[in-house]
Structure formats: C-alpha cells, structure tokens
Amino acid sequence: MSGLTIKDINTDSISVEERYALDILVNLPVPQVSKLQELMELEVEDVISPIILQNFIELCQECGLDLSEAGVNQFKDANKLGNTGAVRGIIGPQTAQFYFDAIIKKVTPELPPGTDRNINQAGLDLVKEFEGLHKRCPDGRVEAYIDPVGIPTIGWGHTAGVRIGDIITVEQGEKLLRQDLESSESTVSNLVKVSLTDNQFSALVSFVFNIGPTAFRRSTLLRKLNQGDDQGAANEFLRWNKGGGRVLLGLSKRREAERKLFLS
C-alpha cells in the first residue's frame, strides 16, 4: 500500500472506473505515485484527490488501458495475474505494478539512436555545476562513491559499470558525462519539431538529463515549444523545481539557469 491519504473522495459513490483507478494508486509505492503525478504535471503531494484520480483515468485512457470491469479482467488475464475465484477483478500491489509498468512503457518515447547535435560548452558547464563532481582525491583524480540511494557513482553522476574503488581522471569523468548526455541530446533532437539555437538546445538537454525523457515528452514546455511559443516554453522551466512535493533550492537555481541559457 502506498500510504497516501485519500482526500475529498467518497469511496461509496464512485464509478467502477474510478474505483479501479483508486485501487491502482493506493497499491503503488509513494515514489511511483509521485512519478505519475509528475507525468500528469500535477503538484506532487501525499494525497489522492479527485483531480489526481480524474487525471490518472485520462492518462490510462491515453495509454489504451481500459479500467472497466471487463477491461481490468482482460488485463489481468493477459498478464497471468491470478484472476480467478476471490481475486477475480481485484487490483492488489502486483497488478498495480503491472499497470504502472504498462503506463511508463507507453509514454516513454522510442527514439532512433544517435544525434549529430551536441550540447555546447555553456550547457555542459551548467550540467557540471548542478550535477557536481564528488569525491576528489588528493592527486586531483576522482574516486567512486555511494550516492544517497545506494548506487556506486563516479564523476558527474555516472553509474554504469561503476564499482567502489574505481578512480578516474577529471578528463575521463567529462568523457563519461558527454556519453551520458547522448540520450538526452537524442531526445531533444527527436521530440522538438522547431528550429533551436545552440543555447536553446543545450538548455533543453540539461533539462531532459535532469527530469528524464518521459516527463519531457508529456510536458507543457515541449508542447508550447513545438507550437512556436518560445517565451511560454521558457517560463515552463521554472515549474519543474520540486522534489517530493517540496520546492528545492538547488532545482530552482538549476531551472533559472536553464531558462536564462534558453533565452540567451
């Protein structure tokens, strides 16, 4: 169970579709519910309200997920989720996880590999500043460390294949960072349909590197940008400054820096 509070929802009078949507949300871990709220561009908070419930139903519809009784039974049967007897049509933690995975898979953009365009120096410096270079050795090299969520990390947030005890030069760390940025460069190149200056492109790469391609694909920022509203898109940067439902100073400063670079 997620441990989230149900607010202003009368569970005795909601529809079948709303009941199933609520069952999915209350059976997911809090971080996954927060991820869904971010995808729906809603304020992340520790409650499930009518607006969150309705937006989640619309998200499921966009992903082709039918939350009628027949649709839920079909989903459970298709995924071999033990849909007989007393558990038929019941959504528990395992089924909720399957729904979450199905949504993330559906909204994650499938992008062709590679791009000919790269982040510029101003953008790279911005990413370096806010990602931070941690655990410098006395000789100037960089040592692997355990990040706050327990993942071995080195340089500017690189995690792939890292082991505690690894040591690299700063130059090697920058090379790894550039490699890590390639997927964000591809995301921007493939999802943005209008012409971008180098600074606009680089600001967006930093933004995507931080929030992820799925959130960017569904963002109002991208929609406004592709509609030709550069100023509106620039203002959207500032909305993405929260973590765990709270405004974070570091994220606020990063968004301001990305917006400034985008408009320069």
pTM above 0.75, yes or no: no
Tens-place pLDDT, residues 31-81? 788 778 877 777 656 778 888 888 899 989 988 999 998 998 899 888 888
Among 227, 192, 229, 228, which Cα is nearest to 207's? 192
Buried (b) or exposed (e) across 193-223, using 16+ Cβ within 10 A?
Answer: eeebeebbbbbbbbbbbbbbbbbbbbbebbe
Tens-place pLDDT, residues 83-124? 666 667 688 888 989 999 888 888 776 655 555 789 999 999
Q: Same domain, yes or no, for 129 and 191?
A: yes
Q: Same domain, yes or no, for 97 and 18?
A: yes
The pLDDT value given to residue 181: 94
Q: Same domain, yes or no, for 92 and 174?
A: no
Parent domain of 195: 121-133+167-263
User: In the chain, where does DSSP find H-type helix?
Assistant: 16-26, 30-39, 50-62, 69-78, 93-107, 121-131, 170-191, 198-211, 213-217, 220-226, 230-236, 249-263
Of the ranges 23-27, 105-109, 151-155, 225-229, the best mean pLDDT one: 225-229
**Total domains present in the chain:** 2
Confidence check: pLDDT of 214 > 70: yes
Q: Same domain, yes or no, for 18 and 102?
A: yes
Q: Same domain, yes or no, for 95 and 127?
A: no
Q: Same domain, yes or no, for 89 and 127?
A: no
Confidence check: pLDDT of 240 > 80: yes
The pLDDT value given to residue 211: 87
Residue numbers annotated as active site: 131
